[in-house]
Amino acid sequence: MIDFPAFGAAISLLAGSPQAWIWVVPGLLIGLVFGALPGISVSMAMALVLPATLYMDFLPAIIFLTSVYTGAGFGGSIPAILINIPGTSSAVATTFDGYPMARKGLHSEALGAALVSSCIGVLISYIILFVLVQPLAEVVLRIGPFEMAAIGIWGLVLLGSIGGSTVAKGLFAAAIGVLCGTVGMNTAGYMRGDMGIPWLLDGVPTIPAMVGLLAASQLFALVNAKFIVENKENRTISLRRILAGGRLVLGSPGTLLRGSAIGVFVGAVPGVGSSIANLISYGETRRSSPDPESYGTGNPRGVIAAESANSSSEGGSMATMLALGIPGGGATAILLAAFAMHNVIGGPRFMEQNRDIVYAIILSNFAQALVLLVIGAGFVFVASTIVRLPLRYLIPTVLVMSTMGAFAIEGSIAGPLTLLAFAVLGWLMSRYGFPVAAIVVGLLLGKLIETEMLRAYQLAGGDAVRVLDYPVAVGIILLMLVSLALSLRRDLRRRAALKTDTAAAVD
């Protein structure tokens, strides 16, 4: 399916335009910085640099923007690991194991693992894009409400009670999250729970709520600590250990490939994308692992699963954008706007007539992934100095930056107020042993599940049997049931074995 003449033309196109290349490094750096700032999302970073691209040629402009995209995609994982702040919703699952690793003093390893899995994720997704752009886009376009609802439910089942001390507490937290996710106007136009506040009509602002739940609540709990990493010897800033973290990724090819595959397909679905993909990938990795209990306490595979999925979403959403002209999210919407500014209309015709340019974009992204490896290593090396900062300075600094980030999303006080409400809720709940991560998962997936389930219900006309018309959805649900049954059986067996062991020990 590779069009070789166009491929050759793409290579000469790239080789012949050195000015296209000088934008890769600044683009990645801008992306990294913006991505690392809590609340500044990938699409915002791209919107900010968009005016500058107006005066570039088409190819350099697109390469610059996709460099920002790639950089910001990884940048979000840095605060996720170091201070438990998911800079974007696609880095939520990164916090689950990344932050515990940092607290244990394994911040360098976690950052290295995140970097390398991101780079490889981007690479894999663009390789898939390169070979299969058209079929990939077709598959993604076919994923409808039944399939999406099934994926969302799967995610909730996998992660619903994550990290709780008891199942009841985990479920309680997740259910509260789901309820928060239903606030506002739903897809059928019903408005509830908005308390007459106009901005709540769109639902609880997700990013401030997440940052409040995960980060601010955690920072409050750290008021009496001195440093994020308690042990002084572990507060190292070491390139060697970052690289060691990278090597961990190469030792877990299964996790990496699964994460990338989930990222490419789930992450590419218009409108849902990477924020769901990283959760599903994390949940699947945890479920299929021989020691699921180690997840959430600092298992590097958790970081690898999350990061490979969120970065490979980039290639997936580029596929729908290039092949169909449909923006999957804010970032690709801006890319399409940039196309338009250069009088290029994305979509099927563009793909057919400009295969060389499409290939050039893809090839330059291969290069971006490799350059990111170098630039990113330097960047996380500098960023990891955060562990040396005393918490009495770090706490107010991060709280203020999070507040400004929450403001920056829509430019209104709505963001900071949401941040405050959820910071207090998260602090209280985590104080009494409720897993805040489950609230976040509920919040993110609740919105998705309600929307998609409602559409499925409308499509079926209220007739549940109609589900059978959607074999893929049924397949996902069956797969979910089978895999749950298998893990349940394994758990029971292990528990039985544990019992006989202790019984034997007592004898």
Partner 1 sequence: MTKPIHAVSRRQALLLAAGAGAALAAPGIARAQTFPDRPVTLLVPFATGGYNDRLARAMAPFLQKQLGQPVTVMNRPGGGTVLGNTFFMQQPDDGYMMMVHSAGPYIPLSILTRNARYKAEDFHMINLPSRDLTLAAAATSKGINSIDEVVTRLKADPRSLSIGVQPASADLINMALFLQAHGIDRSRVRVVTYDGGGPARTATAGGHVDVGFVGGEGFLPIRDRIKPLLMFTDEKSTDYPDVPLLTDHARAAGFQPQSVDGSQRGFVVLKRFVDAQPERYRILEQAVERATKDPECISTLGNQQLATTWYGPEASNRAYLSSAAVMAQYADLLKQA
Partner 2 sequence: MRRRVSWAPLMLVTLLAGVTVAYLIEARGVSLSPQNLLLLQPTAWLVLLLWAVLAIGYLRTPVLAPEEGPAESWADVGRVVAMVAAFAGFILVLEPLGYDIAIWGFTLIALIIGGERNVIALAIFPPLFSLAIVHGFRLLVPYPFPTSLI
Please give the residue ranges that form the binding site for partner 1 (CB under 8 A). Answer: 19, 26, 30, 43, 47-52, 54-56, 141-145, 185, 187-191, 198-199, 201-202, 270-271, 324-327, 330, 333-334, 336-337, 340-341, 343, 345-349, 410-412, 451, 454-455, 458-461
- Residue 401-440 contact track with partner 2, rule CB under 8 A, x = bound: x-xx--xx-xxxx--xx-xx--xx--xxx--xx-------
Minimal distance, residue 220 CB to partner 2, in Å: 6
Coil/strand/helix, residue 163: coil
Query: Would you say how long the chain is, in residues?
Result: 507
Contacts of 231 (CB under 8 A, 6+ apart): 105
Minimal distance, residue 141 CB to partner 2, in Å: 25
* H or E element in which residue 192 lies: strand 191-192
- Residue 132 interacts with partner 2 (CB under 8 A)? no
In SS3 terms, 366-401 reads as HHHHHHHHHHHHHHHHHHHHHHHCCHHHHHHHHHHH
- In whole angstroms, give the CA distance from residue 134 to residue 29: 31
**From the list partner 2, partner 1, none, which binds 223 (C-beta under 5 to 8 Å, kind-based)?**
partner 2
Other residues' Cβ atoms within 10 Å of the Cβ of residue 18:
9
Contacts of 472 (CB under 8 A, 6+ apart): 143, 146, 147, 150
**From the list partner 1, partner 2, none, which binds 461 (C-beta under 5 to 8 Å, kind-based)?**
partner 1
Cα 463 to chain centroid, rounded: 34
Q: Which is nearer to partner 2, 137 or 419 (CB)?
A: 419
| Pairing relationship of beta strands 191-192 and 184-185 according to DSSP bridges | antiparallel
- In whole angstroms, give the CA distance from residue 439 to residue 437: 5
- Residue 337 interacts with partner 2 (CB under 8 A)? no
- In whole angstroms, give the CA distance from residue 325 to residue 337: 11
**From the list partner 2, partner 1, none, which binds 182 (C-beta under 5 to 8 Å, kind-based)?**
partner 2
Minimal distance, residue 470 CB to partner 2, in Å: 18
Stretch that binds partner 2, among 91-99, 170-178, 271-279, 306-314 (CB under 8 A): 170-178
Report the interface residues with partner 2, using CB under 8 A: 34, 37, 40, 48, 168-169, 171-172, 175-176, 178-179, 182-183, 186, 188, 190-193, 216, 220-221, 223-224, 391-393, 395-397, 399-401, 403-404, 407-408, 410-413, 416-417, 419-420, 423-424, 427-429, 432-433, 446, 449-450, 453-454, 457-458, 462
